[in-house]
């Protein structure tokens, strides 16, 4: 694995852990695709730092479990603004 990839993966992992960010939010901040962030966090991070990978996995699972609530709030806000 290349050094710039390793650095990006660790930086994204730290960002997600610190801010509890979603994959989309992290992708936007780091200027990469959602697919890249997802692959980095679910596969590549596990090879680099398994302990951090567990922490990131917990955040991503929480975000996934809560996404239907966020979607409902966004829809409500959309129709209140019409």
Q: Where are the domains of the chain?
A: 3-80
Q: What digits encode the pLDDT tens for the residues 1-40?
A: 899 999 999 999 999 999 999 999 999 999 999 999 999 9
Where does the pLDDT of residue 82 fall: very low under 50, low under 70, confident under 90, or very high at 90 and above? confident
Q: What pLDDT shows up at residue 54? A: 97
Q: What pLDDT shows up at residue 1? A: 83
Whole-prediction pTM? 0.83
Contact (CB, 8 A) for 79 and 50: no
What Cα–Cα distance (Å) separates residue 51 from each residue in 24, 39, 54? 23, 17, 5
Q: What pLDDT shows up at residue 14? A: 98
Mean pLDDT, rounded, for 53-71: 90
Mean pLDDT, rounded, for 39-68: 94
The two tokens of residue 22 are: 């979603």
Tell me how far apart the alpha carbons of residues 61 and 59 are, in angstroms, rounded to a whole number.
Answer: 5
Hey, how many other C-beta atoms are within 10 angstroms of the C-beta on 37? 27
Tell me how far apart the alpha carbons of residues 79 and 82 are, in angstroms, rounded to a whole number.
Answer: 5
């Amino acid at each position: 694995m290349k050094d710039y990839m390793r650095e990006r993966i660790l930086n994204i992992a730290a960002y997600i852990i610190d801010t509890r960010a979603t994959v989309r939010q992290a992708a936007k901040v780091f200027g990469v695709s959602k697919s890249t962030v997802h692959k980095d966090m679910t596969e590549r991070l596990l090879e680099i730092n398994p302990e951090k990978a567990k922490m990131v996995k917990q955040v991503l699972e929480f975000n996934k479990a809560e996404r239907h609530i966020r979607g409902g709030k966004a829809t409500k806000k959309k129709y209140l603004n019409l």
